[in-house]
């Protein structure tokens, strides 16, 4: 399960999304290197996914963003986000 930080009006919690083992391993690698995944659900039922890392000033820096309708296309957006976040993390570290 890949943990996504979900911030909403009542606070924040962790939502876990299950993906195949290769995606899970890649996500675990990104998280172990200091990355985090965020999830936002908009009123129009669109989900925004973000891969963030701490910047040089300790402020969050977004490496990648994916958006998809909340439904059958969401897992594909998660997979793209994870693959791109790992690739981009490799480029900056």
User: Roughly how many angstroms between the first and final C-alpha of the chain, as a whole number?
Assistant: 25
pTM of full prediction above 0.85: yes
Q: How far apart are CA 89 and CA 47, in angstroms?
A: 23
pLDDT at 91: 80
pLDDT digits (tens, 9 = 90+) for 6-39: 988 788 999 999 999 999 999 999 999 999 999 9
Task: Report the CATH number at residue 38.
Answer: 3.30.160
pLDDT digits (tens, 9 = 90+) for 48-81: 999 999 877 888 889 999 999 999 999 999 999 9
User: Is the separation of the CB atoms in 23 and 2 below 8 Å?
Assistant: yes
Total structural domains within the chain: 1
Q: Please report which confidence band the pLDDT of residue 93 belongs to, taking 50, 70 and 90 as the band edges.
A: low
Q: Which domain holds residue 29?
A: 2-92
User: Is the separation of the CB atoms in 6 and 16 below 8 Å?
Assistant: no
DSSP state of 26: H
């Amino acid at each position: 399960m890949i943990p996504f930080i979900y911030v909403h009006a009542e606070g924040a919690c962790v939502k876990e999304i299950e993906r195949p083992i290769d995606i899970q391993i890649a996500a675990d690698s990104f998280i172990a290197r200091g990355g985090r995944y965020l999830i936002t659900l908009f009123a129009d039922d669109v989900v925004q996914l973000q891969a963030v890392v701490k910047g040089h000033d300790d402020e969050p820096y977004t490496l990648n963003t994916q958006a998809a309708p909340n439904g059958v296309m969401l897992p594909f957006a998660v997979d793209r986000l994870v693959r791109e976040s790992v690739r981009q993390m490799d480029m900056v570290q």
